Chain A
Amino acid sequence: MSQVTMRVWRGDANGGDFQEFALERQEGEVVLDVIHRIQATEAPDLACRWNCKAGKCGSCAAEINGKPRLMCMTRMDQLPEGPVTVTPMRTFPIIRDLVTDVSFNFAMAERVPALLPPPMPEDGYRMYQEDVERGQEFRKCIECFMCQDVCHVIRDHEENKQHYAGPRFFIRYAELEMHPLDTNDRRDYVREEMGLGYCNITKCCTEVCPEHIKITDNAIIPMKERVVDAHYDPVAWLGRKIRRRTKRTASEASVQPQP
């Protein structure tokens, strides 16, 4: 079979460069297989993160020919002819080679005000399929963080990492806001603390999502509309005044349920 040249970025926080590897093509291989073959032969210390190799855990995200992809789900025979470039995700600090420090995402996860349901009845909650389906779409998320990687708000503007949750967490907020049992209100929190307004809906997150979650259409925009309800829409504001519903502040919304 024919040969393929892999251009793999190697280095660490102090810098690095591309290293080329020439290998035989093998039938049905994905990019991760080729990386593993390089590890087993030429470069045993080539760092790459992976777990399930089945597109279910989201560990092996990297940029293939400049685009965020899961290495385990990218077939070699579907890439264009010529050398294949593999680089680490650009938005996150490099640990080594293809492995990045994704702790930004775990820090954002800690800041999510959790589900606040009413006490559970003896025989469990009642929820209906049409109500759980919206949240289920977002719960397909495998946390590969490619949407975070591709999002230019943090990809190109490091300073925004302080106050911008990113697409992965906007779907989390949408899931919670659409949860039929939830009683927490995170709308002001998402606007004030999580930077929802920074998103300019250029939809790259949706384009790269390996689970085909419609991040922008079904989560971010509905969240933006909820924020309009709570904050920008004068009619909705008036309606609330008339019905004397108190408006929560961002800090009030960030209630963590008691363990």
Chain B
Amino acid sequence: MATLRTDRWWLQPVVTASILTAFVVYSTWAAFQNANYYVGAAAHRDLISPFYSPCLAGDCVPGAGHGFAISAWTLSPALIILIFPLGFRLTCYYYRRSYYRAFWWSPPACSVADAHGSYSGESRFPLFFQNAHRYFWYFGLVLNVILTYDAIRAFHQPGIGWGVTVGTIVLTVNAALLWGYSLGCHAGRHICGGSVKSFHQSPLRYKLWKFLTPFNVKHMNFAWTSLIFVAFTDIYVRLVASGAITDYRLF
């Protein structure tokens, strides 16, 4: 590839492509399982995988639902809701940077030649749909509320009472990382305050904007940690639900 760079510029795109591919493969597999996504009262637990929450299908595992269901839906419930976090991340400004580099090689790294002959960026169909990012952000916030509710609910173990298990910690950390990721969203930062002409005349929105800015600075960090952790959370719930491991109770 045309560059005079002598450093290992290819390392970053290779790592990015590997992690994203691994995540897509795993999440697709997990979404189609339609099983082992919930640990219920039988095990004195209330743990739901983030891939399956809210569980909206008609045949959700008892206890996993959130009081509302689309009874006609009989496929995996993950397929209903995963589209939103997927869309949120797919249109995310940070992920765009990463996959345009790692998969599309446009460009693979700075001052390394673009792999394509012609280029129109995000100005045309279909890529101008990236501009819908803010709508996915709104949905992302709703999901964060639900996952936070799931995490809180997990602290109440059916038949035992309030307590802390490894699973509660996993769900809590997961929700926290997802909040960290969503609060750093560029579209959100714009909507909350960045769009105003004069901060001085909108002091509340200025405060909000200032609150969000540090998250925005760390958006990359939250993007990766929350991505990896959400997969880990699903794995953890899946292992407990399948009986492979027990969710250890701390106190």
Contact = CB atoms under 8 A, between A and B. Distances in A.
A67 interface: yes
Contacts, number: 129
Contacts of A11: none
Range for the number of chain B residues in contact with chain A? 35 or more
16 contacts: A80-B6, A130-B200, A131-B199, A152-B107, A195-B123, A198-B122, A199-B121, A200-B97, A200-B100, A201-B96, A221-B186, A222-B186, A225-B134, A228-B131, A232-B128, A232-B132
Residue of A66, A195, A222 with most chain B CB atoms under a 10 A cut-off: A66
Interface string A161-185: 0000000000000000011101000
Contact of A65 (B5, B96, B122, B128): B5
Q: Helix, strand, loop or mixed for chain B's interface?
A: loop
A156 interface: yes
Contacts of A225: 134, 186-187, 190-191, 194-195
Contact of B195 (A66, A85, A207, A226): A226
Contact of B200 (A65, A128, A224, A227): A128
Nearest to B113: A156
Given A203-B97, A222-B195, A228-B187, 18 more contacts: A66-B5, A128-B200, A131-B198, A134-B199, A156-B107, A156-B113, A156-B114, A157-B119, A195-B121, A197-B123, A200-B122, A201-B100, A204-B110, A225-B134, A225-B195, A226-B195, A227-B131, A228-B131
Interface of B: 3-7, 93, 96-97, 100-101, 106-107, 110-111, 113-114, 118-124, 127-128, 131-132, 134, 186-187, 190-191, 194-195, 197-200, 206, 216-217, 219
Nearest to B114: A156
A173 B244 CA distance: 57
Contacts of B187: 225, 228
A203 B219 CA distance: 14
A87 interface: yes
Chain A interface size range: 35 or more
A72 interface: no
A63 interface: yes
A160 interface: yes
B121 A198 contact: yes
Interface string A136-171: 000000000000001011011101100000000000
Contacts of B106: 152, 200, 202
Interface in A54-81: 63, 65-68, 80
